[in-house]
Homo-oligomer: A and B are copies of this chain.
């Protein structure tokens, strides 16, 4: 159902910013307002009054009933979808010379859709909706934290499965299959990013995936999962070694663990995102890994797997002040040693007035059986 409180707060901010309407084209904000998802989430939120949904003719009755919104423009062909949006814009403009429409301008907004929209609506000034939505979404309500908590349990089910399945001779892809299956069985609705099972030198990659590579004795293996539960994400990463670690692998792992702990120690309402980085960086530097440190160890999480602050994508976000009721991770950066591999340990936290609550509080052994 439409969340009227969230709608009201968004509309207040829209009017403050001089935005006449928000054209929703992405899943996250559609779920945020309407509590459910569509494959093609399309809606127009005016600065005053109720949203207008744009949906397929076969889904009209159900959409109206489940969202509780009366004004749905339906299309029978996909081309008509654009015409519907243009039509609504014309109605809203009335006789006005121009209007200002906010759009999310991030990874999930396709470049060509935006170009198409601007070409079809030459009198519309398009602006980034981030100043409206980022601030709202950054502070989570209790319902949102409950969903992230549930997603965190699902993430843990995935990582525990990885620890059971990682043996020499199996492949990254086979382990990935078991992880995704375990997370689905635990109630998850798929993943926000592909599961990483990065083994051997691949563990040092900045990002990853699963490949047909076999797991070998002596491999460092980074397993990173971001399952969704009803749209909300949790992020958990653990590093394993297959059989006894070398001295260097052990040193990398212990350093990362202490760096993450220092970051968590620094995490409290009132600090800035970069303070978490500084705390971790000091540990890496003291252990001789300072040059290899990739900044941006902590990011926000919610309906997007990286949302404000997301300093590795938008460096200025490192200045964002962390506040009560935020959900953030610590452990995003990889410690990558060329020729050896990499280590990451990442957890998801709920920031309360008393400090951080670790939602992915599962401690697992670094060393796995090589037999």
Interface residues of A, Cβ cutoff 8 Å to B: 37-40, 56-62, 76-79, 105-115, 173-174, 176-177, 180-181, 184-185, 187, 189-190, 194, 201-202, 204-211, 294-296, 312-313, 315, 334, 336-339, 342
Bound-state CA distance A177–B180 (Å) is 8
Whether B79 contacts A315 by the Cβ 8 Å rule is yes
Known pairs A39-B205, A77-B294; list 6 more (Cβ under 8 Å).
A37-B209, A38-B207, A58-B338, A78-B296, A111-B114, A174-B184
Give chain B nearest CB distance to A240 CB in angstroms: 18
Whether A39 contacts B208 by the Cβ 8 Å rule is yes
Whether B189 contacts A184 by the Cβ 8 Å rule is no
Cross-interface CB contact of A56 among B58, B111, B176, B206, cutoff 8 Å: B206
Give chain B nearest CB distance to A126 CB in angstroms: 10
Whether A336 contacts B57 by the Cβ 8 Å rule is yes
Whether A58 contacts B336 by the Cβ 8 Å rule is yes
User: Which residue from chain B places its CB closest to the CB of A110 in the assembled complex?
Assistant: B107
Whether B295 contacts A209 by the Cβ 8 Å rule is no
Q: Which residues of B contact A107 (CB under 8 A)?
A: 110, 112-113
Q: Which residues of B contact A105 (CB under 8 A)?
A: 111-112, 115
Whether A338 contacts B61 by the Cβ 8 Å rule is yes
Whether B58 contacts A205 by the Cβ 8 Å rule is yes
Q: A112-B105, A184-B180 are in contact. Are A207 and B336 (CB under 8 A)?
A: no
Going nearest first, the 10 A-B pairs with the smallest beta carbon separation are A39-B207, A177-B184, A58-B336, A56-B206, A58-B204, A181-B181, A107-B110, A111-B111, A109-B111, A78-B312
